[in-house]
Every structure is written in structure tokens, then in C-alpha cells.
Amino acid sequence: MPAKEKNAISPTRSEDFPEWYQQVVRAADMAENSEVRGCMVIKPWGYGVWELIQSELDRRFKETGHQNAYFPLLIPLSYLEKEAEHAEGFATECAVVTHHRLEAVKDESGATRMVPSGELAEPYVIRPTSETVIGAAFSRWIESYRDLPLLINQWANVMRWEMRPRLFLRTAEFLWQEGHTAHETREEAEAETRLMHKVYADFLRECLAIPVMAGEKTENERFPGAEMTLTVEAMVQDLKAIQAGTSHYLGQNFAKAQDISFSGRDGNRQLAHTTSWGVSTRLIGTLIMAHGDDDGLVLPPRVAPSQIVILPVAPKEDTRQAVLDSCHALATTLRSTRSWCGAPLRVTVDDRDMNGGVKKWEWIKKGAPIRLEIGPRDLESRKVCVQRRDRPHQEKAFMDKEEFLQEVPGILGEIQNGMWERAVAFQQENLIELESLADLETHFSNEGATRWVLTPWDGDSEREAAISKGHRISIRCMPWTAAGESERAWPEKPCIASGKPTSRRALWARAY
């Protein structure tokens, strides 16, 4: 029997999932650790994925009436002090700027040291999130109900001092968008919160091919200072949950602290109702963990920086130029005459002078959806060798060039839809319902990969905290049902903690 071909990534997912993840990030050339502990350098392939995520979300935000703006990186400490609950929620993660210059000082050995000097009268916090500084701007911009709603989004970086960093999933500095809005009434603000929650769920489904459990966070798990937090929770292949996006109704808490008030329709001053919502580069980590395999990254075509990679195969010098010319001509034709999902195809010709097998494996590990090989014989037959990342790497199909040109949008759609269907099946296979606390505790007594659990829930915060701490789990959300995003139509059953009849469900899981 022939020897089994080794996987490109070692260890495999089943052997050591956390290390597999780190190796995929490196092998796919997505990112690397920087010289600053806890921070990362996002490399072009990884940043290309982020740019596609960013552009698609930005389009959706603008379609719902939001505008982009930019706010300062540094937030006066006094701004955070105005909102004690919010500040307390981020206190242990904050990086603080206390000095405004450096002085060169010689030490005992004669070496020059740079020493901070010029202590600031008021320290600045490097933004962990921008509710306070944006709230201060809103208080200047809003005078009347006619100025509402105010719908603002910011694309930015933030800093949260992370003690256990992991590329894309948890880093001290990361990229994100944060939406901030102000409204005349509670009803309008809650509608905004739900709208953006749905935008995130739709985006993950349509572009990242990731199904989510969408619902509301419990009081214990809410965003600091919020009255309601909605979340989309993604299941990855080690069965842990990743909070892939959140949307918060902040009530009038921040408006009161920041004096975001307006002259109402009756002429009286009123406090605005505010919201905030955001996703980050954590989406890339979610994408890797949801779809990657033991050969590396597997990218949905919607967010692949190169959807088609053309690999010239010309071992002999006398045919090399003709093969290269044919490859570049095909790439130009694909880009200029074919589109998918409303955008021109993204095509790369890898014409580097290096071993073809090495190039092939690089693109497998990077997760490019389609690879085309073209050699001298293919010029004569007008065929291309088509290889798909969603199928075994050794599988090949030879197609007439014209046939490929006609069918390539359908192939990309088939890959995207197939990834979605596999992810949905995986989620459904690993989601169970339990109806007693004893069954829940038995289920999570296993320290390994453990399926998600739905239980009837009407328990209090203290009981929730005790269960969570005892089993290293949490209620990821109180999920909506198929009856509608704003309805909870589960049949009534006794809560596993209180025994009271409830139509609510809690989704329990271990999480990143």
C-alpha cells in the first residue's frame, strides 16, 4: 500500500487544536507576533481578508444610513470617570499615557537611556472603546430632536491589555469598527440595536459562510453600562464559542454622563437614547477555526483576496514565455469579463521562478478557492487544470478554457454554498437540548471538546455565575428562535435552576 500523504499542518486539529490554529496562521502567511508583546503584524494576505470584510460591512452600514467619522485615539481619564460602571468594566485592560516627552539620560555605564518626562496634568487612556469620547462629541453636535437620529461608524484600532494573546483572537491592539448612534426614543434605539445585530448575522452567513446563534446576553454577560446586549455566537471546530459581533442598547446611561441632550418636540430638554455595536479582526480567527482543515486555511470565495490563482507549469525554458503569456491573458480576461456577487473576479498569476509543487502548497495553505494549472500541452488543447480548495488536493478536473470562463461564477458559488452547508450541519450535530441541571453538569464534566447545550432558563445572576464558574462555561446568549428575531417562541418548560415555567432558553458553551 502506498504511504499516506502527510498533512501540510502539524499538529492536526484532532491532535492539538490550539497549536494547529497557530500553525495555520503562520502557514497561510496571515500574521505574526510583533516586537511588542501581545501585538501582531497583519501580513498582506491576512490584511486582504480584513479589507474585504471591511468593504462589505461598510457598504451594509451605509445602506442603513450610517456615516463614517474618526475620533481621537487618546481619551482623557476624566471622561471614563464620568461613567463609573463602564470604566470599571475596562479598568484592568487599559493602557495609560502619563508623560508627553522623552529625555536622553546617560547611565553609569555611559549608555544613553530614554526616560519619560513631562508628566501630563491629566493622564490619557488609549481607547479600549470610544463610547465616552464619541459621547462628548455627540453632546456638542445634538441640539434638537431635528438632529436625530445621529448614525456614526468608526473604523479604528483599539488597545486592551491582553495577558494571554493569540493572533487575531486576543491581541492587545486590534482593528475593528464601532458604531455609535443617538436616538429620540427608546423604541428607535432598540430598533437600531436589533437592525445592526441582524446586519452582523446576515454578513456572517452570506460572506463568511458561518452560521450563528443570535440572541441576547444575560445581565452577567452584558457590555459594561448597557441595558441590552445582543450577540452572534459562532461555533468553531473544537466546539468552543466565539462572540463574533455584538450590538448594545445603552439606554440613557451614557447620555446622562456625557450630557447628550436635546430640545424635544414639546420644547423640554431630554436625554438621548444611545447604542453601540462592533466587530473586529477576531472575525478572521473565527473564519480560520470554522473552516480550516489539516492542510491549512480554507477561504470562502466572498472574502478570498485571490479567488483564482493561476499556476504556470513550464519546466522547459523554450516554452516558459508562451505559458506565461497565456496565463496572464486568461487572468486579464477573467478580471475584465467575469464577475461574481457584483464584483470583478480577483485573479493572481503566480509567475515566480520556483518549484511548482512548492507554489501549489503555498496556495493550498493560504486557502485560495480555485487553482488553475496551465502547461505547454494545455496551450495546444486550450484546456485548464482546475483544482478546488474545498476538495481533496490531489483531485483535478480538466476543462476547456471557454467552458471554465462560462462556469467559473457557478463554481465559486458552489464552493461558497458548500462551505455554508457543511458549517450548518456541523453546528446542528453539536447542539443538544437538556432539561435538568444534573444533565448539564454531567455533560460539562468532560474537559475536552463539548457540544453546545440549550436549557430552559429563568434563573438569577448568582445561580448563573455559580454554574459558570463551576464548569468553566457561560451562557453565550438567550437565543431567538425561527419564529422571528424579536420573538421567543420556545415551548414552556421548567427552568433548570429555579423550576419555574419559562419559554426562554439559555445557550451554554465554553468560549474563547
HEC secondary structure over 247-296:
EEEEECHHHHHHCCEEECCCCCEEECEEEEEEEECHHHHHHHHHHCECCE
| For the chain, percent of residues with pLDDT exceeding 70 | 96
Domain ranges of the chain: 17-98+126-291, 308-411, 432-509
pLDDT class for 315, splitting at 50, 70, 90?
A: confident
Mean residue pLDDT across the chain: 94
Which grid cell is 431?
447542539
* Residues 84-87: contacts with CB under 8 Å, at least 24 apart: 85/224, 85/225, 85/253, 86/131, 86/132, 86/224, 86/225, 86/253, 86/254, 87/224
286-295 pLDDT per residue, tens: 999 999 999 9
pLDDT for residue 110: 85
pLDDT for residue 272: 98
Task: Say how far residue 92 (Cα) sits from the centre of its chain.
Answer: 23
Task: For residue 280, give every residue at least 6 positions away whose Cβ sits within 8 Å of its Cβ, in sequence order, or none.
Answer: 174, 175, 176, 177
Query: If you search the block for the grid coordinates 458548500, which residue do you land on?
Result: 418
- Label residue 236 exposed, middle or buried (CB < 10 Å: 0-12, 13-18, 19+): buried
DSSP letters spanning 46-71: HHHHHHHHHHHHHHHHHHTT-EE---
* Domain covering 432-509 assigned CATH 3.30.420.40 in the classification: no
Task: For residue 342, give every residue at least 6 positions away whose Cβ sits within 8 Å of its Cβ, in sequence order, or none.
Answer: none
Grouping H, G, I as helix, E, B as strand and the rest as coil, residue 475 is strand
pLDDT for residue 314: 86
The pTM of the whole model exceeds 0.85: yes
Say how far apart CA 458 and CA 462 lie, in whole Å: 12
What is the distance in angstroms between the CA of the first residue and the CA of the last residue of the chain? 42
Strand partners, 28: none
Strand partners, 454: 433, 507
Is a pLDDT exceeding 70 seen at residue 5?
Answer: no
**CATH architecture, domain defined by 308-411:** 3-Layer(aba) Sandwich (3.40)
pLDDT class for 229, splitting at 50, 70, 90?
A: very high
Instruction: Domain 17-98+126-291: state its class.
Output: alpha beta
Query: If you search the block for the grid coordinates 482623557, which residue do you land on?
Result: 76
417-454 pLDDT per residue, tens: 999 999 999 999 999 999 999 999 999 998 777 999 99
Say how far apart CA 65 and CA 59 lie, in whole Å: 10
Same CATH topology for 17-98+126-291 and 308-411: the answer is: no
Is a pLDDT exceeding 60 seen at residue 484?
Answer: no
130-175 pLDDT per residue, tens: 999 999 999 999 999 999 999 999 999 999 988 788 999 999 999 9
3-state helix, strand, coil in the chain (%, to 5): 35, 30, 35
pLDDT for residue 488: 55
370-419 pLDDT per residue, tens: 999 999 998 889 999 999 999 999 999 999 999 999 999 999 999 999 99
